[in-house]
Amino acid sequence: MSEVKVNKISPRSGTDVTLGDSGDTFTIPSGATITNSGTATGFGGDNTPSFLAYSTTNISLTNDTYTLPTYNTEAWDTDTAFASGVFTVPSGEGGKYLFWGGGYFALEADATSRLVWYKNGVVQDQFRAYGGRYGSAQDLPNSGMALFDLSATDTMSLYVYQDGTTSKNLYYAFFGGMKLIGV
């Protein structure tokens, strides 16, 4: 093993400095520090896949029915993994994900709304979000967040529910999610 001790490494004019070749490993020993004051790219990954969908039209919700909303707008969908209200984890993208969603529910007096997360078509009760129950008919918001450890091909969807006596509208429905890094 040989050791090079220098104070500065600079590229030759008109070139970049490259460290090693594909497959090589450079180890930063415990206790060592790398200080960056410039621009670093490619470290730590990014929060993709990520998507955000929302609806610009009202969605009619049949009472006492868990309904999968149809979102007519996708703000972004980095991996084209979201379609028809369902997010499918792409190949090689398993990991922990954060999802959030909700909307405004036009509720009858004393009615409630629910947000329920489904993983692979199975309800995930630990993240149910309840809203509503007001003495008179009101438009009331309900939103929720959930974290899941997912594998490739797993699906996630958000169902909404209202327990009035007739069909009611859901306004401003939205559903988004992203992969977490570092966990």
Partner 1 sequence: MITSNGLKKLGFTPEEDFSLRDDGDGPYIHDWMSASPQPSEAEIEAADAEWQAEYDAHEYARLRATAYAPIGDQLDMQYHDQQDGTTTWTDHVAEIKARYPK
Residues that bind partner 1 (CB under 8 A): 62-68, 70, 84-85, 137, 159, 163, 165-166
Distance CA 109, CA 125 (A): 25
Q: Which is nearer to partner 1, 50 or 112 (CB)?
A: 112
CB-nearer residue toward partner 1: 144 or 164: 164
User: Minimal CA–CA distance to 98: which of 50, 152, 34?
Assistant: 50
d(CA 48, CA 100): 15
Asked if 47 contacts 179 with a C-beta cutoff of 8 angstroms, the reply is yes
Residue nearer to partner 1 on the CB measure, 173 or 179: 173
What span, in angstroms and rounded, lies between the C-alpha atoms of 26 and 154?
35
CB of 169 to partner 1, least distance (A): 15
- Which residue, 47 or 62, has its beta carbon nearer to partner 1? 62
CB 159, min distance to partner 1, A:
7
Q: Which residues pair with 52 in a beta bridge?
A: 76, 176
Spatial distance between the Cα atoms of 180 and 98, rounded to a whole number of angstroms: 7
CB 75 within 8 A of CB 52: yes
Cβ 67 to partner 1, closest distance in Å?
4
Smallest separation (angstroms) from partner 1 to the CB of 113:
14
| Cβ 120 to partner 1 shortest distance, Å | 14
Nearer to partner 1 by C-beta: 118 or 127? 118
